[in-house]
Amino acid sequence: DEFNPCEDIMGYNFLRIIVWFVNLLAILGNSFVFFILVTSHYKLTVPRFLMCNLAFADLVMGIYLLLIASEDLHTRSEYYNYAINWQTGAGCNTAGFFTVFASELSVYTLTVITLERWYAITFAMRLDRKIRLRHASFIMLGGWAFCFFLAFLPLVGISSYVKVSICLPMDTETVLSQAYIIFVLMLNIIAFIIICACYIKIYITVRNPHYKSGDKDTKIAKRMAVLIFTDFLCMAPISFYALSAIMNKPLITVSNSKILLVLFYPL
């Protein structure tokens, strides 16, 4: 059918090569970033703590791609013989859980990073109103629990990871499943709106001639802005997959959507 064309998991030979490069880069790169941030002799500040969480989320996304790439290699040219076992088995459910958890934790962390930068710059002269590491820890603990819950729901029948070979929650057979997909899509849209609004506010604040904060907060905000907007531009595949699931018809072919999955989704 439209969601399961008669082809291998990766579909194209060039994707089969690129996916290994991307997943190894994601795993090694984010492992290195996570290790440096955790073991650095510098004090663990709130921005560094949030970057640790972002690096971990992206690391989990790399593991998802590794699972998909490994299964594609194992079933090369014979996926039709393994499709049912893969898509209904523990492997696909695990991969699906990883990708939803990682993508939503990444979005959540990016939003928290933006709000923290906005807060730090807006209240730069109020030391009594600084966000402390313990505050950020509680915020991220709540985010981890929420993202875990979102990724767990398809495992208990609210949508599912079995509809497509790349193990995304695109099953909308029930009203609850449709509501789940719409909810996840709306979360990502709201997060993007919050981030845009915060950075517009930050820009207005730092352009104010009466702004007295040091350059450190502004420089951090600029670096974070580049990172965050790059990440959100690469979140387009999520919207495509979510809308495809809601409409029960691919907006682009599944074969072509795998290109988005490999080249943009992990970024």
State the SS3 of 3-46: CCCCCCCCCCHHHHHHHHHHHHHHHHHHHHHHHHHHHCCCCCCH
Tokens for 235, please give them: 């979140």
Instruction: Count Cβ atoms below 10 Å from residue 147 Cβ, excluding itself.
Output: 21
Would you kindly state where each structural domain of the chain is located, as residue ranges? 13-263
pLDDT in the model for residue 203: 75
Q: What distance in Å separates the CA atoms of residue 96 and residue 118, rounded to the nearest whole number? A: 33
For every one of its 267 residues, what pLDDT tens digit does the chain have, with 9 covering 90 and above?
A: 566 667 778 877 888 888 898 888 889 988 998 888 888 777 788 888 999 999 999 899 999 999 999 998 888 888 888 888 999 999 999 999 999 999 899 889 989 998 988 888 777 666 666 788 899 999 999 999 999 999 999 999 898 898 888 888 888 788 898 899 889 888 988 888 888 888 788 777 777 666 555 555 566 556 666 666 666 555 655 666 666 656 666 556 666 667 776 776 666
- Per-residue pLDDT, 227: 62
pLDDT at 101: 95
CATH architecture group of domain 13-263: Up-down Bundle (1.20)
